[in-house]
Amino acid sequence: MMNKRNLNAMLAVALMMLSSVSQAQLAVIVNPKSSLSTLTPEQAAGLFLGKSSTVPGGGPASLADLPDSSAVREQFYSKAAGKTPAQVKAAWSRLTFSGKATPPKELATAADVKKYVAANVEAIGYIEKSAVDATVKVVLVVE
């Protein structure tokens, strides 16, 4: 039988695990062959909110996004752009309806984002920093 002390200890461990997930560092990534070497949070927000369709230096950007339901997506837009999921969706709805921009390509998982970026020199995406490997290059860390 579980006593109150054991239950409290298990709850404390579970809360620590949840807080570490919610505080994960995110990395904005590009193809290793990309000429882009760094992005500011403002530049990343501009790209992922449709305010800009080119990277600094003028090249085209092919954006990769995670699904609406992704906690990493929510964290990215919150930290990089100061926007809630509803605000992001509303901004893209306006831009799409007016024909001013096309939303980022939505991929199912972070592994899919990394694979897409690794295969496309114009691609920019974001994943948890812990998932970065030699197939992509980090241009911004969002904390």
- Looking at the DSSP assignment, which residues form a beta bridge with residue 27? 127, 141
Reported as a single tens digit per residue, the pLDDT across 15-45 is 444 444 456 899 999 999 999 999 999 999 9
Does residue 76 sit within a domain?
Answer: yes
| pTM for this prediction | 0.82
CATH number of the domain to which 119 belongs: 3.40.190.10
Domain count, the chain: 1
- Looking at the DSSP assignment, which residues form a beta bridge with residue 26? 128, 142
CA dihedral 67, 118, 80, 63 (to 10 degrees): -60
Reported as a single tens digit per residue, the pLDDT across 62-77 is 999 999 999 999 999 9
Rg (CA), the chain: 17
Does residue 14 sit within a domain?
Answer: no
φ, ψ for residue 59 (rounded to 5)? -75, 155
Does residue 60 sit within a domain?
Answer: yes
